A and B are shown apart, each in its own frame.
Chain A
Amino acid sequence: MNPTSTPALDRLLAAATRRLRFAAATWALGRIALPAALVIAAAIIVAMRRLGTPEVALWLTAAPLPIVLAWAGLRPHASRRVARRVDAHFGLDDQLGAALELGKTPPRGAGNDPRTSAIVDLVRQRGDALAQTINVAPAFPIRVPSPRAFDVFALVLVGVALQVPSARAELAEASLGGVLLAPVQAASARAGLDLALAGPLRQSLRELAAAKDEPALAAQEILEILEALERGEIDRALALEQLEELEKILDEQDAQLDAELREDPAMLAEALEELGAGLQEEEVTSKAGEALDKGEGDKAEQALAEAGKAAEADANADEQMKRALAEAEKRLAKQNDERESSETTKQLEEEERRLKKEEHKQPETPEQAAEQERRLAQQRDKVEQLKRQHEREMAAQKKIEELRRNAKQAAQNKAGSAERKRELEKLGRGMKEASRSAQGSQRMQGAQDALEEAKTFVRRSGQSGAGEDKRKQQFRKFDKAAKGDGKEEGKDGKGKDGKGKGKGSKSTLLVEGEVGEGDPQAMMEGDGKDGQGEGKDGQGQGQQGQGQGEGQGEQGEGEGQGEGEGQGQGEGQGQNQSPASSGDGIGDGSQDPLGDPSAIKSDANDVRVNVKRGRGVSKAEILKDASQNGFATEPYRKTYEKYRDHAKSALDSDAFPAAQRRLVKRYYQMIQGR
């Protein structure tokens, strides 16, 4: 049996198969690939927005396309089945299929009847002839599937996915909504950093950085660290680390400065203030006085020289100058006279007695011996410090005396004389040197305070979530302080009547006024104890302490008004320079009014403050009542306003220095309700 060839039929079936694949591909693309791609796209969009999946993953959306095409292209299609479909479509009663099949497989049960073979040939010829007339396209229509519920669902899925908020956007929004415009990675670490609160600090730092000395460099460094933190270039931990490193450097520089210091800067500053006040009495020297008051020694020297020239030209000016110099001389002399009996000298004598007493003690046990050794070392250090301080005070007194003498001689000499000029030059130079000496120490202290404040801000920047706890701690501290619990109060060596000088640490308290009559020492006695450094914060060991205080009061009766300013860290050794005065002190212990609990150690001595009792009504009572009643009974806002008003009234005082004024304002900014 030699079957007839059927080329047309073969072509038809090949065309039909291609058409079938194309139709299948079209169907599968619409029915499978498209909804699958939509579902995948939805999943990827969600993953991109929530999990940060890269955008390149969107290419996965196209994955169903090659799969479907491969399926349509490689799926086997039996030609017999294809032929049967063509037959069925055109109503050919399987003639094409039979022709195809009979060409491949001999008919069953045909035997050797030649007619069977003949009929097979006829069947194949007939099939081939039919194939030539057939267009397979209608048999395999290419239809795009109509949408189903699942397709709509997939589309909705994509829509929903597009509405999913982006985690990145949320983070960015969170950053933008906050104070910082920091990168996303560090957003959580810096959340809550309130740069508005850091504004005064930055202003202080800029002022410090304006000069060209080591504190200026330190201030510049602190500014850069804060700005880097703000920009998100560093995180909070790194910022703290850098600040601590800077603190170490500043400590070393401070120690070096302290070792090189010959005159006591506080005394020099006070003397310059007096000198400046005296010069400001007259118009011709007022510029020099103002410059001195501002701590600008160079300008003061220049202004004094100009005043000398003016005095040469004008007799009236000469008179003014003479009066101003005489007044300055008088004030300087008065100051030196007041300092003759120095508190430092007394303290030194007292400490030396203690040291000798301690040295004579005989320990009974090794433990006692070790303890004694420790106390002795401590005591020796204290004595050494006091000796240094005493020497500086003596040097300062000498310097002041020199200034006084220069002023006196300049006032006595004739205008235009060489002696007058020489004395004025000496005075100007002495003013400049004294100012530089006083300013150097103050600037270093300012840099250290700014650094401490910067650390506080950086630390608090990560504690916004625990604000309430922090707030409660602040309340507790403030409550204790307001009750007069001296452990905080005395750190600054403050509140000792009037002028106190000491090395206190962190806390700054606002205590104003004396209370009525009674024991003249009633108010400050407790403080004095703390002034010894019993307070925890007192341990700063006084890298540098300065206290300024003024007290005015009349012996024996009331109306004591005293102001004291103290700056310092550490032991809070206050020096009472004005034992006869009464009143209270306002101290500025550090940049952080609340103190740092981690640094509360002290080995300072008890100091009894000799204050004079006054009869003045004190606002401290109000504070005391409020604190004793407890803050919980009143809304925080009201309590805060009450305290703030009180602080404002204190700030209105002219005697309150600008730096301290700013500190108090910043403190109230920090504790205000939000």
Chain B
Amino acid sequence: MSTAITTTQTHQELQAMQRDLATLTAEVQRVIVGQDKVIRSVVTCLLAGGHGLLEGVPGLGKTLLIRTLARAVDLDFARIQFTPDLMPADIVGTSMLLQSEGDTSGRPVLQYQPGPIFANIVLADEINRATPKTQSALLEAMAEGTVTAGGQTRPLPNPFLVLATQNPLEMEGTYPLPEAQLDRFLFKMQVEFPAEDELIRILDRTTGIDVAEVTPTLDAHRIGQMRELVRAIPVTDSITRYVVRVLRATHPEDSRAPDMVKRYVRFGGSPRGAQAMLLGSRIRCILDGRMTPSIDDVRAVASEALRHRVILNFEGEAEGIAVDDCLAKVLAAVPADK
């Protein structure tokens, strides 16, 4: 009997979650025209508790998308514009001498001033423009959800989500993110140039009188519930094995690795890549109204989960090989069945 109740409840929870996510997506789409895949991927990052890296040429609405999402979920939002002179303290905060109102002596007090990182959703805009030193300031925050400054470690708010953007065209004066930094992003999303009718709709929305208003649909608590339910989604053995085989096949030394990988890839995806694929496929099946992920879900999220984790060798870089092409070969080479 209790099982039946639980099943019904779970079913209801799943349906509620699907409804909420649909509402969230719809709310974002009131502002953002097109980019449905990116929106789903960003929502996936939100539910998976991972961070997202959006890559695209300027003007495609990356920043707007993240700002809209932040407004739609009713979470704290901070935007950090990365520049070469941006210092780590500018991100994580610093201790400052302040005239404390509470101090009777009237002497100034050294007080920690949190940086913009202390927000639920942090937009790291043009993250590759900051120096590696500054970029590294995000490592602890993204991996552990804490910030250590002035010898004191402070937790970041929950949920904490870093959504970074970077411009692939302007390479001069940029600092490519180190592998360790990249690996901490759940997904790396490619923001494509909008199609013709999408552009028309963008123009309609942005040049007219009406301005779309975004209503918050989710709060931190609800997001926390969703995150728990996502992790309760059952995954079959064959899916898990498939994820593992795909990840291994990105390594040139693996027997299943296609020739392209063997020739152009220096390092394959890390275990975080497999985690990203599995979590992403779970969330994707919920977004699609299903209760368990399929091979197609894994294939759908594999590129976003692995493209920033697969490192090309010199030959691959020199010949301009796209990592996505290598991943496509991997997916084609790895059989679905056992």
- A639 within 8 Å of B by Cβ? no
A116, B239: Cα distance in complex, Å:
16
- B148 within 8 Å of A by Cβ? no
Q: Do B11 and A93 have beta carbons less than 8 Å apart?
A: no
The smallest beta-carbon distance between A358 and chain B, in angstroms, is 112
The smallest beta-carbon distance between A230 and chain B, in angstroms, is 77
Which residues on A sit within 8 Å (CB–CB) of B295? 84, 94
- B208 within 8 Å of A by Cβ? no
A114, B228: Cα distance in complex, Å:
12
The smallest beta-carbon distance between A115 and chain B, in angstroms, is 4
Interfacial residues of chain B within 261-311, with CB under 8 A of chain A in the complex: 285, 288, 290-292, 294-297
Give the interface centre of A94, A95, A101, A116 by most chain B CB atoms within 10 Å.
Answer: A94
The smallest beta-carbon distance between B282 and chain A, in angstroms, is 10
Q: Which chain B residue has the least Cβ–Cβ distance from A95? A: B290
Among A97, A107, A115, contact of B229 (Cβ-Cβ < 8 Å)? A115
- B233 within 8 Å of A by Cβ? yes
The smallest beta-carbon distance between A107 and chain B, in angstroms, is 3
A113, B295: Cα distance in complex, Å:
24
Q: Interface size class for chain B?
A: 20 to 34
A121, B4: Cα distance in complex, Å:
9
Q: Do A80 and B238 have beta carbons less than 8 Å apart?
A: yes
Which residues on B sit within 8 Å (CB–CB) of A110? 232, 234-235
Interfacial residues of chain A within 489-515, with CB under 8 A of chain B in the complex: none
Which residues on B sit within 8 Å (CB–CB) of A98? 236, 239, 292, 294
Which residues on A sit within 8 Å (CB–CB) of B336? 84
A507, B47: Cα distance in complex, Å:
126
Q: Do B237 and A121 have beta carbons less than 8 Å apart?
A: no
Interfacial residues of chain B within 197-247, with CB under 8 A of chain A in the complex: 229, 231-240
Identify whether the interface residues of A are mostly helix, strand, loop, or mixed.
Answer: helix
Which residues on B sit within 8 Å (CB–CB) of A113? 231-232
Among B14, B240, B291, B337, contact of A80 (Cβ-Cβ < 8 Å)? B337
Among A93, A94, A97, A102, contact of B234 (Cβ-Cβ < 8 Å)? A102
Which residues on B sit within 8 Å (CB–CB) of A109? 235, 240
Which residues on A sit within 8 Å (CB–CB) of B240? 108-109
A126, B236: Cα distance in complex, Å:
15
Q: Do A115 and B232 have beta carbons less than 8 Å apart?
A: yes
- B111 within 8 Å of A by Cβ? no
Which residues on B sit within 8 Å (CB–CB) of A81? 337
Q: Which chain B residue has the least Cβ–Cβ distance from A114? A: B6
A118, B2: Cα distance in complex, Å:
10
Q: Do B237 and A119 have beta carbons less than 8 Å apart?
A: no
Which residues on A sit within 8 Å (CB–CB) of B13? 115
Interfacial residues of chain B within 1-41, with CB under 8 A of chain A in the complex: 3, 6-7, 9-11, 13-14
- A209 within 8 Å of B by Cβ? no
The smallest beta-carbon distance between B281 and chain A, in angstroms, is 11
CB 8 Å contact bits of A67-85 with B (1 = contact, 0 = none): 0000000000010110010
The smallest beta-carbon distance between A363 and chain B, in angstroms, is 109
Q: Do A119 and B234 have beta carbons less than 8 Å apart?
A: yes
Give the interface centre of B9, B232, B233 by most chain A CB atoms within 10 Å.
Answer: B232
Which residues on B sit within 8 Å (CB–CB) of A80? 238, 337-338
A93, B296: Cα distance in complex, Å:
7
Which residues on B sit within 8 Å (CB–CB) of A84? 295, 336-337
The smallest beta-carbon distance between B292 and chain A, in angstroms, is 5
Which residues on B sit within 8 Å (CB–CB) of A108? 235-237, 240
A110, B282: Cα distance in complex, Å:
12
- A204 within 8 Å of B by Cβ? no
A643, B29: Cα distance in complex, Å:
124
The smallest beta-carbon distance between A522 and chain B, in angstroms, is 110
The smallest beta-carbon distance between B337 and chain A, in angstroms, is 5
Q: Do A120 and B237 have beta carbons less than 8 Å apart?
A: no
The smallest beta-carbon distance between B7 and chain A, in angstroms, is 4
Q: Do A93 and B236 have beta carbons less than 8 Å apart?
A: no
Q: Which chain B residue has the least Cβ–Cβ distance from A108? A: B240
Q: Do A105 and B237 have beta carbons less than 8 Å apart?
A: yes
Q: Which chain B residue has the least Cβ–Cβ distance from A4? A: B7
The smallest beta-carbon distance between B293 and chain A, in angstroms, is 8
A655, B295: Cα distance in complex, Å:
119
The smallest beta-carbon distance between B279 and chain A, in angstroms, is 11
The smallest beta-carbon distance between B189 and chain A, in angstroms, is 22
Which residues on A sit within 8 Å (CB–CB) of B235? 107-110
A97, B235: Cα distance in complex, Å:
12
The smallest beta-carbon distance between A521 and chain B, in angstroms, is 113
- A122 within 8 Å of B by Cβ? yes
Q: Which chain A residue has the least Cβ–Cβ distance from B237? A: A105
Q: Do B291 and A101 have beta carbons less than 8 Å apart?
A: no
The smallest beta-carbon distance between A623 and chain B, in angstroms, is 97
Q: Which chain A residue has the least Cβ–Cβ distance from B240? A: A108
A122, B7: Cα distance in complex, Å:
7
- A123 within 8 Å of B by Cβ? yes
Which residues on A sit within 8 Å (CB–CB) of B296? 93-94
A119, B229: Cα distance in complex, Å:
10
Give the interface centre of A109, A115, A116, A117 by most chain B CB atoms within 10 Å.
Answer: A115
Known contacts: A84-B336, A93-B296. The answer to whether A119 contacts B290 by CB under 8 A is: no
Q: Do B234 and A120 have beta carbons less than 8 Å apart?
A: yes
Which residues on A sit within 8 Å (CB–CB) of B11? 118, 122
Q: Do A119 and B236 have beta carbons less than 8 Å apart?
A: no
Q: Which chain B residue has the least Cβ–Cβ distance from A87? A: B294
Which residues on B sit within 8 Å (CB–CB) of A114? 3, 6, 10
A115, B5: Cα distance in complex, Å:
11
Q: Which chain B residue has the least Cβ–Cβ distance from A94? A: B294
Q: Do B290 and A93 have beta carbons less than 8 Å apart?
A: yes
Q: Do A101 and B238 have beta carbons less than 8 Å apart?
A: yes
Known contacts: A81-B337, A98-B294. The answer to whether A121 contacts B7 by CB under 8 A is: yes
Q: Do A119 and B232 have beta carbons less than 8 Å apart?
A: yes
Q: Do B237 and A118 have beta carbons less than 8 Å apart?
A: no
A286, B264: Cα distance in complex, Å:
130
Known contacts: A107-B235, A115-B6, A118-B3. The answer to whether A93 contacts B337 by CB under 8 A is: no
The smallest beta-carbon distance between A384 and chain B, in angstroms, is 111
CB 8 Å contact bits of B116-151 with A (1 = contact, 0 = none): 000000000000000000000000000000000000
Q: Do B288 and A121 have beta carbons less than 8 Å apart?
A: no
The smallest beta-carbon distance between B9 and chain A, in angstroms, is 8
Q: Which chain A residue has the least Cβ–Cβ distance from B337? A: A81
Q: Which chain A residue has the least Cβ–Cβ distance from B234? A: A107
Which residues on B sit within 8 Å (CB–CB) of A101? 236-238
A81, B335: Cα distance in complex, Å:
12
Q: Do A123 and B6 have beta carbons less than 8 Å apart?
A: no
Q: Which chain A residue has the least Cβ–Cβ distance from B233? A: A119
A115, B292: Cα distance in complex, Å:
12
A84, B6: Cα distance in complex, Å:
29
Known contacts: A84-B337, A115-B13, A115-B232. The answer to whether A93 contacts B291 by CB under 8 A is: no
A662, B166: Cα distance in complex, Å:
125
The smallest beta-carbon distance between B147 and chain A, in angstroms, is 30
Known contacts: A93-B290, A98-B292, A110-B232. The answer to whether A119 contacts B238 by CB under 8 A is: no
Q: Do B6 and A118 have beta carbons less than 8 Å apart?
A: yes
The smallest beta-carbon distance between B245 and chain A, in angstroms, is 14
Known A98-B239, A105-B237; 18 more pairs at CB < 8 Å: A80-B338, A81-B337, A93-B288, A93-B294, A95-B292, A98-B292, A98-B294, A101-B237, A108-B235, A109-B235, A113-B232, A114-B10, A118-B6, A118-B9, A119-B14, A119-B232, A121-B3, A122-B14
- 27 pairs from A and B in contact (CB 8 Å cutoff): A80-B238, A80-B337, A80-B338, A93-B297, A94-B294, A95-B290, A97-B238, A98-B292, A101-B236, A105-B236, A107-B236, A107-B237, A109-B240, A113-B231, A113-B232, A114-B3, A115-B6, A115-B232, A116-B234, A117-B3, A118-B3, A118-B6, A119-B14, A120-B234, A121-B3, A121-B7, A122-B7
Which residues of A come within 8 Å of B, CB atoms?
78, 80-81, 84, 87, 93-95, 97-98, 101-102, 105, 107-110, 113-123, 126
9 residue pairs, one from A and one from B, having the closest CB atoms: A107-B234, A94-B294, A118-B10, A118-B7, A115-B232, A101-B236, A93-B294, A113-B232, A115-B10
Which residues of B come within 8 Å of A, CB atoms?
3, 6-7, 9-11, 13-14, 229, 231-240, 285, 288, 290-292, 294-297, 336-338
